């Protein structure tokens, strides 16, 4: 995991992920000693970034209240890109879930390419068993 220490390429960093898991076990024959139980787990792990974002310095922030209202509306090119993506999504949905459109599946764009497509194809590298806790209830 720490091979980047001996490398000229900077480590892209890690994201700490946290989630809770709830599992209910039901007693087949309930009694005072054997009752339904709710197991509450907290699961945490670290996931290595596939795309480097450490070059972003974070110093160019401006309070949202000082910005003109027009900057919050999408530009025409952003609206066109959004429309294009929505068309692709509708095509995918129709070809996947409606039998009459399945024959057109070869003509659907199943992956929208972007500048990090190759990096995002790679499987995530996790630091396993970072933390796992069973909450007492």
Is this structure's pTM higher than 0.75? no
- If one compares 72 and 43, the residue with the highest pLDDT of the two is 72
82-110: per-residue pLDDT in tens? 999 999 999 999 999 999 998 988 888 88
Confidence label for 132 from pLDDT (cuts 50, 70 and 90): low
Q: What is the pLDDT of residue 18?
A: 81
How is residue 52 written in tokens? 């480097």
**Start-to-end C-alpha separation, the chain:** 36
Strand ranges in the chain using DSSP code E only, listed in sequence order: 14-25, 37-48, 126-135
Considering Cα of 83, then 88, then 90, then 91, what sign does the dihedral take?
Answer: positive
Nearest 5°: phi and psi at 15? -110, 130
Nearest Cα to 12, choosing from 103, 135, 124? 124
Q: What is the pLDDT of residue 125?
A: 74
Residue range 34-54: mean pLDDT, rounded: 79
Q: What is the pLDDT of residue 42?
A: 81
Whether 41 contacts 21, CB under 8 Å = yes
Q: Please calculate the CA angle 57-63-66 and round it to the nearest 5 degrees.
A: 135
Instruction: Give the whole-angstrom CA distance, residue 17 versus residue 44.
Output: 6
Confidence label for 6 from pLDDT (cuts 50, 70 and 90): low
């Amino acid at each position: 995991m720490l091979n980047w220490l001996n490398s000229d390429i900077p480590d892209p960093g890690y994201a700490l992920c946290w989630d809770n898991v709830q599992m209910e076990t039901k007693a087949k024959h309930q009694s005072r000693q054997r009752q339904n139980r709710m197991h509450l787990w907290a699961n945490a792990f670290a996931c290595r970034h596939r795309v480097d974002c450490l070059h972003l310095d974070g110093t160019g922030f401006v309070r949202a209240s000082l910005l003109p209202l027009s900057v919050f509306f999408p530009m025409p090119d952003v609206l066109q890109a959004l429309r294009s993506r929505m068309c692709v999504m509708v095509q995918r949905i129709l070809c996947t879930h409606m039998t009459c459109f399945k024959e057109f599946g070869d003509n659907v764009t199943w992956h929208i390419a972007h500048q990090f497509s190759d990096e995002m194809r790679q499987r995530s590298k996790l630091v396993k068993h970072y933390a796992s806790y069973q909450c007492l209830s």
